Amino acid sequence: MSPEREPVAVIGTGYVGLVTAAGFAELGSQVWCVDIDADKITRLRAGEVPIYEPGLEQSIARNRERLQFSTELGPALEHARLLFVAVGTPPTYSGDADLSAVHAVVDAMPASDRHALVMKSTVPVGTGAAIRRMFGERGKTGFAYVSCPEFLKEGSALKDFLGPDRVVVGDDGNWAGDAVAGLYAPLGAPIVRTDVASAEMVKLAANAFLATKISFINEIANVCEVTGADVTEVARGIGLDQRIGGHFLRPGIGYGGSCFPKDVSALKQLAGNSGYHFQLLTAVIEVNELQKRRVVGKLQKHLGSLVGRRIAMLGLAFKAHTDDMREASSLVLAARLQADGATVSAYDPIAAEEARKLMRGVEFADSALGAVQGADACILVTEWPEFAELDWARMRSVMAGELIVDGRNFADRAAVAGAGLTYEGIGR
Ligand SMILES: NC(=O)c1ccc[n+]([C@@H]2O[C@H](COP(=O)([O-])OP(=O)(O)OC[C@H]3O[C@@H](n4cnc5c(N)ncnc54)[C@H](O)[C@@H]3O)[C@@H](O)[C@H]2O)c1
């Protein structure tokens, strides 16, 4: 308990906002959460957590007294001077970030020399400068601004919030930068103090670099397939080089989620809008799109035409430990399989409810075994731990065919083969 902890407000209670609120509450702050989604606020007030994120429900329950939920900004402005903004910035048709939710928040701010907007949402470089200009034009020059991009990963978000590799604080030398840095100080992580534009770029560059690493290892995997090397061995061999590092060297069926696709495209677009053609990112995006479709080629290699075939997809979420279906590779894959004439059955332990809203014509099962019933082939799409423990002999006994395509290279190859099934991984 630290009674002297600064109270804060969090605007937008999605994946980032709720985790930020819970994280600051864990550190001892009173947190005023605001969202325009009245239904979400009603559920949160009733103690219901609208998203799946490990440990979040327990953290919110533990800190109930410190967390207030409202659709009104008033109480937040009254009690907190730091207003963390965590509203969505989805891609527009042009690939630019849609800043309408951010602008709605800016528009709602009163004139004040006591408050600061602290931007957690991922925004293009120059957004902070534009917002300060808007404040200036509206006689709100006293409103301070800090860029504090968020690096948490869905699936381990609360853990990431409480144990970050670094915290980036971009400001123009006002009181608010120090206040934000002070809030994060107890976490003991390096705090990168910098200007607003550089802080904005750190976030975009970090995600673009990680996406590049994924597309790189996916291309190496594809070359391994035609040359006889095993990408798992290659990743192990290069990952031990400290200049490269072992993270993000797992090949698969392409990156998805609400961040990488949109942030890579936003950076490419940002560069393009400024007259610079970011060639590398163009290739990263193309490789990723092709990677999602390579699985279809693997199925065709073994089954021939997919017309009339039954294909089971195990896992639908864009990664394990989340119910987030935004930009999940499973969406592209299911649509491609259906377009090629296949029937698709699917199972996901957590994301099925979200998936049902987005997938048409897919038959949902309540278990992995149910999904593979009568299937000609099964694709492991998401690396849920329960899929690593599957009883492959039982799976074989209910399947019509014998092909397992491991889109994440995480099943035990020998166990799959031992059950009389044919194993196809990525790059091995
Ligand atoms: N999800 C991630 O893993 C992640 C990680 C790092 C950064 N980010 C960035 O953080 C931001 C938020 O992402 P998210 O995944 O939490 O989004 P989300 O869609 O889960 O949540 C956004 C929330 O903001 C609310 N909202 C929209 N307009 C509002 C307004 N005017 N006032 C109050 N609330 C409003 C929505 O109702 C929603 O609850 C994005 O910019 C994203 O790029 C996300």
What percentage of residues in the chain have a pLDDT greater than 70?
Answer: 99
Domain boundary among the residues 152, 167, 194 is at 194
Query: Do both 187 and 265 map to the same domain?
Result: no
Query: Do both 56 and 179 map to the same domain?
Result: yes
Give, in order, the Cα–Cα distances in Å from 22 to each of 57, 64, 251, 259, 313. Answer: 9, 9, 33, 21, 34
- Which structural domain, as residue segments, surrounds residue 42? 8-194
> 53, 17 in Cβ contact below 8 A?
no
Domain boundary among the residues 166, 194, 222 is at 194
Domain boundary among the residues 163, 194, 225 is at 194
- Over residues 309-321, the pLDDT tens digits come to 999 999 999 999 9
Regarding the beta carbon of 258 and ligand 1, being less than 6 Å apart is answered yes
Question: Helices (H) and strands (E) in the chain — how many of each?
Answer: 18, 14
Query: Do both 412 and 264 map to the same domain?
Result: yes
Query: Do both 56 and 178 map to the same domain?
Result: yes
What secondary structure does DSSP assign to 367-411, as a single string? Answer: SHHHHHTT-SEEEE-S--HHHHT--HHHHHHH-SS-EEEETTS-S
Query: Do both 284 and 182 map to the same domain?
Result: no
Regarding the beta carbon of 13 and ligand 1, being less than 6 Å apart is answered yes
**How confident is the prediction along the chain (428 residues), in pLDDT tens digits per residue?**
445 799 999 999 999 999 999 999 999 999 999 999 999 999 999 999 999 999 999 999 999 999 999 999 999 999 999 999 999 999 998 888 999 999 999 999 999 999 999 999 999 999 999 999 999 999 999 999 999 999 999 999 999 999 999 999 999 999 999 999 999 999 999 999 999 999 999 999 999 999 999 999 999 999 999 999 999 999 999 999 999 999 999 999 999 999 999 999 999 999 999 999 999 999 999 999 999 999 999 999 999 999 999 999 999 999 999 999 999 999 999 999 999 999 999 999 999 999 999 999 999 999 999 999 999 999 999 999 999 999 999 999 999 999 999 999 999 999 999 999 999 999 99
Mutate which of 39, 52, 87 for ligand 1? The one with the most ligand atoms within 8 Å of its CB, which is 87
Query: Do both 158 and 300 map to the same domain?
Result: no
Query: Do both 296 and 417 map to the same domain?
Result: yes
Query: Do both 158 and 280 map to the same domain?
Result: no
Regarding the beta carbon of 11 and ligand 1, being less than 6 Å apart is answered yes
Regarding the beta carbon of 265 and ligand 1, being less than 6 Å apart is answered no
Q: Domain total for the chain?
A: 2
Q: Specify if 289 maps to a domain.
A: yes
CATH of the domain at 46: 3.40.50.720
Query: Do both 24 and 119 map to the same domain?
Result: yes
Distance 14 CA to ligand 1 centre (A): 5
> 254, 288 in Cβ contact below 8 A?
yes
Distance 258 CA to ligand 1 centre (A): 10
Distance 102 CA to ligand 1 centre (A): 10
